[in-house]
């Protein structure tokens, strides 16, 4: 009986996050990485975010687009993202600081990326529909790539999304959130998509 109660409790105090983006399959990725290509000398990475505390007010017309400003993400998230890019670019043969040429500029913009603190001060306070459960939050990601090498200029963008559905009022303090795992899936695949696209040129 206690076990059943615990299972029900965990379900009610949990949330589910799902990743939405084009998935690069392992076999396809292996084939892409095996293609020879001229590496780039510089890979510049930046990640900015429109915080949830401002972005959700824009969605509800409480603020105009001019009122909300992006901020750089926390250092830990940025360094992890940048490290992943550098490692994958090296492994795929797209980055060689000594023998490469040209520059790749990568800008990741996230819209509505939230923190537990923001949810406690906004989502639970400002949005009455939280009481109509389940309730969901969406975080959108757009990665813009600009590559310059010799006489080539390459520009493209890729998109992804993480949707988190909450099943209980006090979900933001739950330890069972899978948001970070879904975000990792989205970001990893945006990187793989970027490499796959650059390998075409």
Q: How many CB atoms lie within 10 A of CB 12?
A: 14
Q: How many CB atoms lie within 10 A of CB 24?
A: 18
From 1.10.287, 3.30.160, 3.30.310, 2.60.40, which CATH number describes the 14-198 domain?
3.30.160
Residue pLDDT, tens place only, 126-160: 555 445 556 778 899 999 999 998 888 999 999 99
Residue pLDDT, tens place only, 22-53: 888 889 999 999 999 999 999 999 999 998 87
- Spatial contact of 69 and 129, defined as CB atoms under 8 Å apart: no
Rounded to the nearest 10 degrees, the angle between the axes of helix 75-92 and helix 179-198 is: 40
Higher pLDDT, 122 or 153: 153
- Spatial contact of 75 and 55, defined as CB atoms under 8 Å apart: no
Tell me which residue of 40, 85, 59 sits closest to 190, measured CA to CA: 85
pTM: 0.82
Angstrom distance (rounded) from CA 69 to CA 48: 10
- Spatial contact of 160 and 194, defined as CB atoms under 8 Å apart: no
Angstrom distance (rounded) from CA 121 to CA 128: 13
What is the reported pLDDT for 165?
77
């Amino acid at each position: 009986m206690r076990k059943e109660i615990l299972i029900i409790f965990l379900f009610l105090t949990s949330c589910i996050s799902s990743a939405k983006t084009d998935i690069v399959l392992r076999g396809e990725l292996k084939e892409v990485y095996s293609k020879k290509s001229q590496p780039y000398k510089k890979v510049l990475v930046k990640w900015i975010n429109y915080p949830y505390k401002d972005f959700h007010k824009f969605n509800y017309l409480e603020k105009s687009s001019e009122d909300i400003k992006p901020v750089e993400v926390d250092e830990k998230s940025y360094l992890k993202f940048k490290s992943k890019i550098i490692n994958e670019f090296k492994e795929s043969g797209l980055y060689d600081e000594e023998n490469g040429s040209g520059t790749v500029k990568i800008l990741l913009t996230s819209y509505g990326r939230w923190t537990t603190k923001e949810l406690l001060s906004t989502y639970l306070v400002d949005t009455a529909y939280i009481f109509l459960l389940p309730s969901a939050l969406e975080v959108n990601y757009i990665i813009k790539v600009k590559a310059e090498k010799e006489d080539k200029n390459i520009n493209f963008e890729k998109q992804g999304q993480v949707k988190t559905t909450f099943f209980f009022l006090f979900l933001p303090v739950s330890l069972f959130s899978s948001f970070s795992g879904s975000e990792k899936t989205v970001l990893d695949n945006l990187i793989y998509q970027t490499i796959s696209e650059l390998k075409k040129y």
